[in-house]
Amino acid sequence: MPKQKTMVWSSQSYGTGLTGSFTTNGGSVRVFFAGSAYSRSANVTLAVNLVIDNNVQMTLNGYTNEADSHKSLVPAIAELSLGSGIHNVSLSTSGSTVIDLNDYFTLEVSSK
């Protein structure tokens, strides 16, 4: 049973950038990450990375058949081991993936 839940982003628009932070006592944390993205090219894989303390920790993936169509990406849950203290989070993209103010993200961190 989780001891503490932190909602870093709840259906938050990417806008001009999306950053946040959360605090842990160290050890194992459960991370739920969901969002959307698009590409200006057709028939490509979409990928949005969750960056924690300057390291890519999780990636959301999807596929788009058409260009310029925002797609929901497959949500992900992961168990991560983090040191105690404040952790900074941000997003990055891979390939031709684009995120903008029409893309929304949820990030919840639960410590055990």
**What is the pairing mode between strands 104-111 and 4-13?**
antiparallel
Q: Cβ(9)–Cβ(48) under 8 Å?
A: no
Quick one: pLDDT band at residue 12, thresholds 50, 70, 90? confident
pTM of the model: 0.91
SS3 string, the chain, reads CCCEEEEEEEEEECCCCCEEEEEEEEEEEEEEEEEEEEECCCCEEEEEEEEECCEEEEEEEEEECCCCCCEECCCEEEEEEEEEEEEEEEEEECCCEECCCCCEEEEEEEEC
pLDDT at 8 over 70: yes
CATH number of 4-111, picked from 3.40.1160.10, 3.30.360.10, 2.60.120.40, 1.10.357.10: 2.60.120.40
Provide the pLDDT for residue 4.
86
Domain boundaries, the chain: 4-111
pLDDT at 100 over 90: yes
Q: Cβ(34)–Cβ(60) under 8 Å?
A: yes
Q: Cβ(45)–Cβ(63) under 8 Å?
A: yes
- For 13-41, write each residue's pLDDT tens digit: 987 689 999 999 999 999 999 999 999 99
Average pLDDT of the residues of the chain: 93
